Amino acid sequence: MSEVMIWTIVWVVLSFGLYMYIGFAARVRDTKGFYVAGQGVPAIANGAATAADWMSAASFISMSGLISTMGFDGSVYLLGWTGGYVLLALLLAPYLRKFNKYTVPDFVGDRYYSKVARAVAAVSVVFISMTYVAGQMRGVGVVFSRFLGLDINMGVVVGMIIVAFFAVLGGMKGITWTQVAQFFVLIIAFIIPAVAISAKLTGNPIPQLGLVFSDIVPKLNQIQTDLGFKEYTQPFRSRSMIDVICITFSLMAGTAGLPHVIVRFYTVPNVRAARYSAGWALLFISLLYLTAPAVAVFARYNLIETLHGKTLTEVRQLDWVNSWEKTKLLKFDDKNADGIVELKPAAKDSEITIDNDIIVLATPEIAQLAPFVIGLVAAGALAAALSTASGLLLVVSSSVAHDIYFRLINPNASESQQLLVGRIVIFIAVVAAGYFGINPPGFVAEVVAFAFGLAAASFFPIILLGIFDKRTNSQGAIAGMLVGMIFTTVMIFMMRSVQLLGTATPIMTDFMGISAQGIGVVGLILNLVVTFAVSRATPPPPAEVQEMVESVRVPRGAGSASAAH
């Protein structure tokens, strides 16, 4: 057993032991604790939990890998996700908390006074969350396959069992306090290697300053052009401008419409706490997101310096290469049989194939950091994936058990019946998520981007108009959600038919120059237009609903009294 594996096991056992203790200690027996943690989570703790819930495997594992591979164009994920959280925190979160509901379908059902609207919202939540959680399961499988020597599929199964434990036993209360611990694990695991690599490459231990005030970026640009690539910092080298803009806005609107993030603002005591927790979360999120570009540059530089131009024999003598080759996420193909490994611009010509999802995980090994740091990164990646997966599964559970079973099927269901249904749903959702983690329709960040696109096309317009346009009615909301969700789902399916159907070529590669990751913007626009037009062509909402919307926007009652609204 290697020293890296020993340290990985140590960190994983310690961190998982902590998570399980917290989950058991915070176990719940009522629906309020299960769905919204009893609405008693302090703002700073909720901020840390929100950050952990939001910074998924896509943020920890895949985002820096994408920026490392794509350069400037990869920054769409950084800009979209960060900008979207600001949009949610400042524009929507305080108002949503003032509605004082358990879930997003709760808000939709009451605001649009319709069981049909509630049902459409609940089904949409399940669909979006399952798409999102598939990416997290994939991330868990990648980590386990490399650092614990498990087959990637077995790694996904282990992740399924652990996530089910957190979500079933503790509900939102257990998950919230577990996520607080997971945030500190993942942020420490991300920043320590970044500091060490920055000091090693630039002489400056602060990654952001090392990136800006050293010659690492000019060096990387020169290396890229020498190898036949475009400059690392050149914009729109892999995506068109329209696609970059659409992906950014799709991720922004999707963030502001994500059910598992929105529900976090229902777990605090009042509107003021919701605002403070949003601020804390933004601070905590920025610790990782301001570091990610530096990690991406360091990773790209180290990767090229370590692999390109070396003999295949030399490369395979590296421990980290042997370890990652076994996962089949790193491959070498000496196409010209000269024994030299070459990285080339065209994928069909390159002799190195590296999965985007392993770049961040492999970087500490490539930089030859201490084994205990490498093991810590693995524990951090697992914390990121598991924290988000557990939050997503609880949202799926609450949508089925609370919004469909209790609200629509059996209004007389007891607390114990609702909890039983919620826990059964989690088990079913875990199995489904595991299947898509084993058979993913793309790499982690890409799969997550699909979920954001679906959220942007379905929920963002309905929430925005629900708060700021009292004339929007149930007919408009239902029509808009259906049009946005169906259009976006069909477009993603057609553009990803290769992975989903096993076809040789996709049914279509883009829509007017917009890729599958950015198509949610078109769905969003269609949703807005349809919702607005249908609402104006049909009777206005009842007077009491319009008064409710007006009262929610009034700034009075932002303190403890607002909890009663």
What pLDDT digit, counting tens, does each position of 208-256 carry? 999 999 999 999 999 999 988 899 999 988 889 999 999 999 999 988 8
Report the alpha-carbon angle 394-400-404, nearest 5.
145
Residue pLDDT, tens place only, 459-498: 999 999 999 999 999 999 999 999 999 999 999 888 887 7
- Distance CA(256)–CA(268), nearest Å, equals 18
- pLDDT tier at 563 (50, 70, 90 boundaries)? very low
Query: Does residue 104 fall inside a structural domain?
Result: yes
Task: Tell me which residue of 405, 409, 530, 386 sits closest to 472, measured CA to CA.
Answer: 530
The reply to whether 499 falls in a domain is no
307 located within any domain: no
Domain count, the chain: 1
pLDDT digits (tens, 9 = 90+) for 269-278: 877 887 888 8
Q: 411 in a domain, yes or no? A: yes
Degrees, nearest 5: CA angle 328-331-336: 155
Among 14-23, 242-251, 420-429, which range has the highest average pLDDT? Answer: 242-251
Q: In this structure, is residue 320 part of a structural domain?
A: no
Q: Mean per-residue pLDDT for 85-97?
A: 81
Mean pLDDT of the chain: 85
76 within domain boundaries? yes
* Cα within 13 Å of Cα(461), Cβ side: 33
- The 10s digit of each residue's pLDDT in 369-397 is 999 999 999 889 888 887 778 778 878 88
- pLDDT of amino acid 29: 59
Please tell me the predicted confidence (pLDDT) of residue 562.
44
Is residue 353 situated within a structural domain? Answer: no
Q: Model pTM?
A: 0.83
| CA dihedral of residues 528, 531, 537, 539 (deg, nearest 10) | -140
55: domain CATH number is 1.10.4160
Nearest alpha carbon to residue 451 among 84, 73, 45: 84
Q: Print the domain residue range for 96.
A: 3-300+368-448
Domain membership of residue 177 (yes or no) is yes
Q: Which of 26-40, 48-62, 147-161, 308-322 has the lowest mean pLDDT?
A: 26-40
